[in-house]
Structure 1
């Protein structure tokens, strides 16, 4: 036996077989191997997206030929059983990272697993979708850029202190892209507002006296105690009347936020959005 053959025979070989990309097993394996700093001769081979019995058995046969340790991260019951049976029959060392733990979780939670490959990456996609929605809400908050109305999932309209921004951010954390616009009688609406047909438009309104107290509290928090038209009841009623005209013009679904939490308002918006898009 020459030196090359000897080294090949003595090399620790690990076959990672997965019905996804195999990243889970690779991380654990490299963490384990890091505990053996003097181990120089090893080889980790990854076989991702295995979805057939024939393909799996071919890999298992190669593992047998190379005397490899077989590590699997597969969620499918049938393929896991095929791999277990083969390894048991021929004496291959086999570690299944998924099946036993899924069984324990299922027994404790009384919930059946969905047996869907790559489910964790769906979660990652949802995470990035949520991040994108939050960035969208920040970019198009308070009518900063009217272009946002064209691409938003939901457009929120309302006078000052009707909780447009908190609602937008809450919905963004539910992965909805939301653009909002403050309604001020003296400020012309952007022309994009007239092109909202077929889009979910929410109009936030409130009792005038309630709004007055909310605005007064806001001014007090800023150290502005002087008299301002911002908190005058007649002015607030004028703004609310103007808002009603805009709501009618845009076909907005109107929600009264008087003494209502953001969560309650958001739930109404989500229910309406689902009905609207059916």
Structure 2
């Protein structure tokens, strides 16, 4: 199927991450159409904006922007109108809603969401902890974790852990190996929320085969044997059931969906602890 392309210009006075996330979340919904992204971060002067406007004139398309400075806003909008290209201030509808509800105006600080506050340092600390505790490393201080993820190989433990760390949660992940007991310290852990990740044997085999292909490794191994993988999954499920650990099937879940389910379980756990 041939694809159609269009230009999308993302103009931001901050990092541009918000615009890029919104743009990709929407454009992916249009099958057969791809966006050619032009990103202009940290646009805070007229000279910087002029560069973006020149590109927009050279390659007309949709313009999405987040600019706090009113003069820059007006210059961008006037140029877009003159060029006949569609434009939208992505955060304006949200600001309008909040302002009408809260009865107060926004402060108008560029990149205010990226200030170095306590939440930022919490995420950095969580990321450092998570990287040091990836794939079963350093289990001795496991009681300091907020969350422990258990699962056989290729159940998305590492990327899910990284995502949770970005949300400020110290996350360790432990691989489960057939007929190999897990560290006793995991069984004794009381503070962390322990979550078991599973998937269908077919999905695990598929991911493992792709992994071996990327490494040019021999595929004649129990690692991708369907019966062996099914036994791994069954044993992991029995382990989770014996210890009453919540289970999440990641077969058809994205990393974001898996992390959201874990965060919800973590919040429920914290609320229970407070109630006690």
TM-score range, shorter chain: 0.5 to 0.7
- Which position in structure 2 is the counterpart of 1:272? 265
1:135-189 Cα offsets, whole Å, 9 max, x none, are 1000011111112421100010000000000000000000000011000123221
* CA distance, structure 1, for counterparts of residue 212 and residue 189 of structure 2: 33
Which residue of 2 is the match for residue 145 of structure 1?
A: 138
Aligned-partner Cα distance in 2 for 1:139–1:200: 18
1:190 lines up with 2:177 in the alignment: no
Contact 1:134 1:169 in 2 (8 A): yes
Q: How many angstroms apart in 1 are the aligned matches of 2:242 and 2:97? A: 54
Deviation string 1:103-131 (CA, Å, 9 cap, x unpaired) is: xxx7796253699xxx9998521111101
Kept in 2, the 8 Å contact 1:205–1:254? The answer is yes
**TM-align CA RMSD:** 2.6
Instruction: Tell me how far apart the structure 2 counterparts of residues 245 and 193 of structure 1 sit (CA, whole Å).
Output: 16
1:204-261: CA deviations, max 9, x gaps?
A: 0001111111111111111124311100011101111111122123321100000210
In structure 1, the partner of 2:237 is 244
Return 214-223 or 171-180, whichever deviates more. 214-223
- Aligned residue in 1 for 2:34: none
SS at structure 2 position matched to 1:147: helix
What SS does the aligned partner of 2:163 have?
helix
1:208–1:195 CA distance, 2 compared to 1 (3 A): same
In the superposition, the TM-score normalised over structure 2's length comes to: 0.57
Secondary structure of the 2:167 match is: coil
Give runs of aligned pairs for residues 54-133 of structure 1, distance below 5 A: 110=99, 112=104, 123-133=116-126
Aligned to 1:159: 152
Please give the alpha-carbon distance, in whole angstroms, between the structure 2 residues aligned to 1:191 and 1:243: 16
Q: Please list every run of 5 or more consecutive structure 1 residues that lacks an aligned counterpart in the other structure.
A: 1-105
Tell me if the contact between 2:139 and 2:185 (Cα under 8 Å) persists in the aligned partners. Answer: yes
The DSSP-based 3-state class of the residue aligned with 2:187 is helix
Cα offsets for 1:30-70 (capped at 9, x unmatched): xxxxxxxxxxxxxxxxxxxxxxxxxxxxxxxxxxxxxxxxx
SS in structure 2 opposite 1:223? Answer: coil
* Over 6 Å off, 4+ runs: 106-109, 119-122
C-alpha contact (below 8 Å) 2:152/2:175 kept by paired residues: yes
Instruction: Give, in whole Å, the separation in 2 of the partners of 1:234 and 1:185.
Output: 12
Tell me, yes or no, if the aligned pair for 2:143 and 2:190 is still in contact at 8 Å.
no
Pick from 193, 197, 205 the counterpart of residue 212 of structure 1: 205
What is the total number of aligned residue pairs between the two structures?
A: 171
Unaligned runs of 5+ in 2: 1-94, 272-276
Change (3 A) 1:264 1:120: closer
Give, in whole Å, the separation in 1 of the partners of 2:230 and 2:96: 59
Change (3 A) 1:121 1:134: closer
Q: Which residue of 2 aligns with 1:177?
A: 170
Q: Return the alpha-carbon distance in structure 1 between the equivalents of residues 267 and 105 of structure 2.
A: 27
In structure 1, the partner of 2:217 is 224
Question: Which structure has the larger Rg over C-alpha atoms?
Answer: 1
Change (3 A) 1:236 1:122: same
Contact 1:149/1:193, CA 8 A, preserved across alignment: yes
Q: Give the CA deviation at 1:194.
A: 1.6
The equivalent residue for 1:258 is 251
